[in-house]
Amino acid sequence: MNAYDKNAAGVIPDAQLLADEAQYSSFGDTVHYVDPPKIFRHGEGSYMYDTAGVPFLDLQMWYSAVNFGYGNKRLNDTLKRQIDLLPQVASQYLHQTRIELAKTIAVDAQQKFGLKGRVHFNVGGAQAVEDSLKIVRNYSNGKSLMFAFEGGYHGRTLGASSITSSYRYRRRFGHFGERAMFIPFPYPFRRPKGMTPEEYSDACVRQFERLFETEYNGVWDPKVNQAEYAAFYVEPIQGTGGYVIPPRNFFKDLKKVLDKYGILMVVDEIQMGFWRTGKLWSIEHFGVTPDVVVFGKALTNGLNPLSGLWAREELINPTIFPPGSTHSTFNSNPLGTSLGLEVIKMGYELNYEKTVAEKGAHFLDALKDLQKRHKEIGDVDGLGLALRAEICTDDGFTPNKALLDKMVDIGLAGDLVHNGKPIGLVLDVGGWYKNVITFAPSLDISHEEIDLAIALLDQLLTKAKKAM
């Protein structure tokens, strides 16, 4: 099962790699969650393998970029065929899969949202967010102010950082004069006492709409019926913010306010797109029509950088957004577009909408059962195979970052046990208080692997609590 051979020619030992990394690599382009950083050598399905050949069940799949598993044969074969056919071509020229992929996404969006639109490509999620900012600013006659959510994350380029709520991503890079206005996001587990989740959702929408009550509330000029802000950037389910799932009525109510005051809704599907929640786009669960959808990550299963956006025709037609409005040398590259086209074909052919919903329900039920055995699990929730477990103190509510950090360390040590053999567990940390396990397993994870994940989490929690 493990193809990695540590005796193969050219394999550098872990100790030497870590020493070289410490001396020659910038630490600014990564985050090391354990010390020393973990080195992996091989991936297959839901597993990664370290130098010793120990398997690690991966429950975060590269931040939801590898939705379809490591070494997915169908997608790997697509990449290999494209390398031999047309591996690269300058982006001012056309090639078949670029056009096919754009058409596939646009036709799908028209069927779902009832709007004509076009697709624009780039190479990374943050870059696609930057392109969307250009589209919005251009359409709104240069308005540069945006709304975004507390707890939201849209990337770390300068423009994307301005609409990401964490100050720590901006702190060292000067003043952000066009920083978004951050609006409360309904966080059901941490809602005010005495409110149902739906009442909390209503309160958040009412608080937002109050900004438009009079000219003195700050964002609206009633004399000309014009808002100072151009768009609202939303993640239907907060990603880095901890896979927070709002009440189902929230986005419908918010969209009514946005439409009333002429503000665009830009939906960030970079982490939740491509069937992570059981739909191609997670916004489909909430019954609203976006103006722009930004996507990336799992579009190519992590095999080649490609991202993009869909925007409705009025925002992106060639008259209003002409050639050269934004550009990247590697956008719409043939390797990426051939993979993206195959990902979408595969998703519909294999009926991920059905299978992800079934597996997600199994996983969520198992997490709820695990919660009964560990009072430190304060909240579990999920939509499809985007799931969360909030780790708390034994009161079941107070955030317990230290316990989760210990769990991550133990999981990556690779000394949990399954069938008498060592095994590891790869978890991702998220949440407003960095105390949330955000589960994003392979969409091809088996029911048996889900049961194994729960058994390993049980071991992990038990060991971590003893170690505290």
% of the chain exceeding 70 in pLDDT: 98
Structural domains of the chain, with CATH: 14-60+352-467 (3.90.1150.10), 77-350 (3.40.640.10)
Confidence of residue 428 (pLDDT cuts 50, 70, 90): very high
Confidence of residue 34 (pLDDT cuts 50, 70, 90): confident
SS (H, E, C) the chain: CCCCCCCCCCCCCHHHHHHHHHHHCCCCCCCCCCCCCCCEEEEEECEEEECCCCEEEECCHHHHCCCCCECCHHHHHHHHHHHHHCCCCCCCCCCHHHHHHHHHHHHHHHHHHCCCEEEEEECCHHHHHHHHHHHHHHHCCCCCEEEEECCCCCCCCHHHHHCCCCHHHCCCCCCCCCCCEEECCCCHHHCCCCCCHHHHHHHHHHHHHHHHCCHHHCCEECCCCEECEEEEEECCCCCCCCCCCCCCCHHHHHHHHHHHCCCEEEEECCCCCCCCCCCCCHHHHHCCCCCEEEECHHHHCCCCCCEEEEEEHHHHCCCCCCCCCCCCCCCCCHHHHHHHHHHHHHHHHCCHHHHHHHHHHHHHHHHHHHHHHCCCEEEEEEECCEEEEEEECCCCCCECHHHHHHHHHHHHHCCEEECCEEEEEECCEECCCCCEEEECCCCCCCHHHHHHHHHHHHHHHHHHHHHC
Inform me whether the pLDDT recorded for 99 exceeds 50: yes
pLDDT given at position 29: 86
Q: CA angle 253-275-447, nearest 5°?
A: 120
pLDDT given at position 4: 56
Residue pair 6/53 in contact (Cβ under 8 Å)? The answer is: yes
- Is the C-alpha dihedral spanning 214, 218, 222, 226 positive or negative? negative
Confidence of residue 218 (pLDDT cuts 50, 70, 90): confident
What is the token pair recorded at 170?
């901006």
Residue with the bigger pLDDT between 7 and 30: it is 30
d(CA 66, CA 438): 15
Single-letter code of the amino acid located at 199: E
% of the chain exceeding 90 in pLDDT: 93
d(CA 66, CA 61): 5
What is the token pair recorded at 418?
């399954």
The pLDDT tens digits of the residues spanning 402-414 come to 999 999 999 999 9
**Lowest-pLDDT range of 166-170, 252-256, 277-281, 293-297:** 166-170
Confidence of residue 229 (pLDDT cuts 50, 70, 90): very high
Residue pair 284/290 in contact (Cβ under 8 Å)? The answer is: no
Arithmetic mean of pLDDT, 127-138? 98
**Lowest-pLDDT range of 118-127, 288-297, 325-334, 375-384:** 325-334
What is the token pair recorded at 235?
């993640």
The pLDDT tens digits of the residues spanning 289-319 come to 999 999 999 999 999 999 999 999 999 999 9
Residue pair 217/211 in contact (Cβ under 8 Å)? The answer is: yes
Q: What is the mean pLDDT of the chain?
A: 96
The pLDDT tens digits of the residues spanning 430-458 come to 999 999 999 999 999 999 999 999 999 99
Q: Which residues pair with 183 in a beta bridge?
A: 149
Inform me whether the pLDDT recorded for 30 exceeds 50: yes
The pLDDT tens digits of the residues spanning 355-391 come to 999 999 999 999 999 999 999 999 999 999 999 999 9
pLDDT given at position 15: 95
The pLDDT tens digits of the residues spanning 41-60 come to 999 999 999 999 999 999 99
pLDDT given at position 239: 96
Residue pair 432/151 in contact (Cβ under 8 Å)? The answer is: yes
pLDDT given at position 5: 65
Residue pair 196/214 in contact (Cβ under 8 Å)? The answer is: no
Confidence of residue 1 (pLDDT cuts 50, 70, 90): very low
Q: Report the predicted TM-score, pTM, of the whole model to 2 decimal places.
A: 0.96
Confidence of residue 18 (pLDDT cuts 50, 70, 90): very high
- Cis peptide preceding 36, ω within 30 of 0: yes
Single-letter code of the amino acid located at 53: G
Inform me whether the pLDDT recorded for 2 exceeds 90: no
Confidence of residue 6 (pLDDT cuts 50, 70, 90): low
